[in-house]
Structure 1
Amino acid sequence: MRSRYSAFVRERADHLLATWHPSTRPSDLTLDAGVKWLGLLVKSHRQIDTDHAEVEFAARSRVGGRGQRLEERSQFVREDGRWYYVDGEIKS
């Protein structure tokens, strides 16, 4: 999760795509320009079994001077020793 957040901060779409599971990964990823990421809080982590996990987080950002907060519960799967982001449920 932290490496994916860092990839958003550094605008590294290549890393985001490389850590996204092929079953849900988009063919292309364009990051929003002008986003200033302010912080990540990992609220919880739950190991479901040896190859599945869930991470709940909040990420703060600013776009055009306006603060935003993204809260999500993300699903991850481990394949060949590597963790991949599968999908997430955004909390409103």
Structure 2
Amino acid sequence: MANLTREVMGITFKNPVVIPSGPGGFGLEMEKDVLSKIGAFTIKSVTLEPKEGNPSPRLVDAGYGLINSIGLQNPGIKTFLNTIYPKLLPFP
């Protein structure tokens, strides 16, 4: 099997596959098997204070793709650091 290891700015990734911010939320919703096979995962944005985000509709089918306007919905940095971040630490 080919060696797909990549180094970027001194950080070694086992492969160049990176899940972008958005589809996987904070990563807690993703299967651990998937997370164990990718090179990296980008979490959603976190703001200082919690944000409810934009009102519905947040997603529109434009016929050629989807347009979204979530509005940075997130629990805020304190909740992220205390409850979500510790669960991400075992990420391989």
Q: TM-score, normalised by structure 1?
A: 0.28
What is the TM-score normalised by the length of structure 2?
0.28
Decide which structure has the larger Cα Rg and report it.
2
Give the structure with the higher percent helix.
2
